[in-house]
Amino acid sequence: MTLPFSLKDITIHPVIEQQGVFFDALGFFPALTKDLLDEDRAWLQPAFVDANDRLVLCIQSFVIKTARHKILIDACVGNHKPRPSRPFWNMLNSDRFEKGLAAAGLAVHDIDYVMCTHLHTDHVGWNTRLENGRWVPTFPNATYIMADRELAHWTQREKENPQDVPWITDSVLPIIAAKRAKLVKSDFVFNDQIQFIPTPGHTIDHYSVLVGRAGADVLITGDMIHSPLQGKYPELGMMADYDSAQAGKTRRKVFDRFCEESTIMCATHFPTPSTGHVRRWGDGYKFIAVAD
Ligand SMILES: [Zn+2]
């Protein structure tokens, strides 16, 4: 199923900032071996891994439009942000995010809520924008919903070593200072159509977002999964995980719950269309494209 698509009275739009190769698969998944990759190369290439064993990833947000609300899930990398350790995200100056919003019929002032699945650099960037040398909320009318333990963890890290987490300094703390954040538990129920599911492991208090009603619903994964390879091998951790063992348990729990359901997965970092049903596959899980 190609985005945007509708669930009765809800529409989900992708807002894509970047799609391409960013990381070597073997470095991104530290426990991945060349042998294992050889076994899986046939189904991974070319969509998910390129000819040089680099992962094809999408950097995107999703907009949920309901009758009452316009909600942004995650906020990509953002513009003008110094990211010296990630050259492909350093000091971006791109209109793709804004154009993606416009394609969904929206401008920044239309967004009522920003839901932050977790506080990594490629998920919080557009939380803020540069105005007269200061970082201010990009979405002037939005409340930003963050998990309380996630924020506490990153706030502490920023206090100890700000140079290690520049995205917290420029894209998270200004939201707190502007009093635009709402702190919740990672099982927060937003309303009868939208609720969070705790998906810890990739970060300390990561959440995914379940949208719609049973039988016509979508799970926006955030980073509980990065590549379908982590479906086939749920225990495969990625380099930036807080606790890869916990992340593996989370994947099994979530995929077990949804593998016989009609729920559509919107896997944030999967290349477009980024959507599919999850189904059992040996000891793991695969993603089956959904027909339009
Ligand atoms: Zn992440």
- 217-238 pLDDT, tens digit each: 999 999 999 999 999 999 999 9
Q: What is the mean pLDDT of residues 258-269?
A: 95
Q: How far is the CA of 225 from the centre of ligand 1 (A)?
A: 9
Q: What is the pLDDT of residues 177-189, one digit of tens each?
A: 999 999 999 999 9
Q: How far is the CA of 202 from the centre of ligand 1 (A)?
A: 7
Give 4-9's long-range contacts (Cβ < 8 A, gap of 24+). Answer: 4/104, 5/275, 5/292, 7/211, 7/212, 7/213, 7/216, 7/217, 7/218, 8/212, 8/213, 8/216, 9/66, 9/67
Q: What is the mean pLDDT of residues 63-90?
A: 96
**H-helix segments, the chain:** 25-28, 34-44, 96-103, 121-124, 148-160, 166-171, 173-177, 229-232, 244-258
Q: How far is the CA of 45 from the centre of ligand 1 (A)?
A: 23
Distance in angstroms (rounded) separating the CA atoms of residues 153 and 40: 36
Q: What is the mean pLDDT of residues 139-165?
A: 98
Q: Residue 84 has which token pair?
A: 């010296």
Element (H, E) at 60: strand 54-65
Q: What is the largest CA-CA distance in the chain?
A: 55
- Match 């920044």 to its residue by tokens: 108
Q: How far is the CA of 249 from the centre of ligand 1 (A)?
A: 17
pLDDT at position 292 over 70: no
Q: How confident is the model at residue 67 (pLDDT cuts 50, 70, 90)?
A: very high
pLDDT at position 124 over 70: yes
Contacts of 39 (CB under 8 A, 6+ apart): none
Q: What is the mean pLDDT of residues 2-30?
A: 90
Question: Is 133 exposed, middle or buried, given 0-12, 13-18 or 19+ CB atoms closer than 10 A?
Answer: exposed
Q: How far is the CA of 226 from the centre of ligand 1 (A)?
A: 8
Q: What is the pTM of this model?
A: 0.96
Q: How far is the CA of 279 from the centre of ligand 1 (A)?
A: 24
Q: How far is the CA of 122 from the centre of ligand 1 (A)?
A: 7
Q: How far is the CA of 8 from the centre of ligand 1 (A)?
A: 30
pLDDT at position 291 over 80: no
Measured between its terminal Cα atoms, the distance across the chain in Å is: 5
pLDDT for 6 equals 76
Q: What is the mean pLDDT of residues 163-179?
A: 98
Q: How far is the CA of 237 from the centre of ligand 1 (A)?
A: 12
Residue pair 200/206 in contact (Cβ under 8 Å)? The answer is yes
